[in-house]
Amino acid sequence: MTRFGIVSKPGAAEARGVVERLLDWLAAHGHAAVLEKETAGLVPAATVPSVGKAELPAQADLIVVLGGDGTLLSMARAVGDLGVPLLGVNLGGLGFLTATTLDEMFPALEAWLAGRMAIDERMMLRARVLRGGQAIGEYAALNDVVITKSAMSRIVNLSVSVEGQYATAYRADGLIISTPTGSTAYSLSAGGPILFPAMDAIVLTPICSHTLTNRPIVLPAGQRVEVTLLTDQEVMVTVDGQVGLNLREGDTVEVRQATARIRLVRFPQQGFFSVLRTKLKWGER
């Protein structure tokens, strides 16, 4: 018996109906289901067990993520180094990570059970916030770590070192440190390059740099990046756009490749360039 974890974006209008259909399909095919607690609130009549998001990966052989990329990013951080594969089913909107459509959900599950789905491994980042030499926060990121000013702040001054050696200083609205997976997210909007997602690399993309020659740079994944805030103003570090904390002058954000890798399930014919053509309308006039 295969155990399927199910997590849904609670605010999605059609989430309840999709969860109900998915539970019925799994029961009819003799498979077990475990609901994430908030998702279980959508279907109070369901008799399957529910657990917190942090506990779900240990209870499942495959996690079906219903929603958008934000829902999958949150689940990916919970999976961490457990290696449980994720199938992202898009409930609407632009989804690079949740590339499976709702109509494809059941065919995708059948194909996965038959061993006919491809699994992509994606690198993650590990970020530590250091204050006075002491770690005050530690995070994992699948997309990016972003250091950015608040809406009313002045330009931010940042000092960047790579592997302990001074690299450059930025006077900008902020800095995006992204994985190849995150290269099609905020980094792309800020003028960063698109990287093939299976690569191991780190991208530094300044946000509205005051110096026009400060261009995005791609580093080997094994390099340790340290970004120090040089100004006393309202600046925040955020991880995957979902969690983070406020920084103080002198704080350092240390970013390096995480040991964990995330496994994303997809149809074999649904390659990266197919997703780019669909999502970015490449090749259309």
Catalytic residue annotation: 69
E-strand stretches of 173-224: 174-178, 201-207, 217-220
Pairing of strands 235-239, 225-229: unpaired
How far apart (Å, rounded) are the C-alpha atoms in residues 68 and 100?
10
Asked if 63 contacts 57 with a C-beta cutoff of 8 angstroms, the reply is yes
- How many Å apart are CA 20 and CA 239, to the nearest integer? 32
**Alpha-carbon distance values, 204 to 2, 7, 165, 168, 238 (Å):** 41, 32, 16, 11, 15
How far apart are the C-alpha atoms of 81 and 34, rounded to whole Å? 20
End-to-end CA distance of the chain: 48
CA–CA dist 201, 122 (Å, integer) = 11
Q: Which residue has the tokens 């261009």?
A: 215
Nearest to 267 by CA among 152, 132, 101: 101
State both tokens at 126.
């590990």
Q: What is the largest CA-CA distance in the chain?
A: 61
240 touches 142 (CB < 8 A): yes
C-beta of residue 145 within 8 angstroms of C-beta of residue 239:
yes
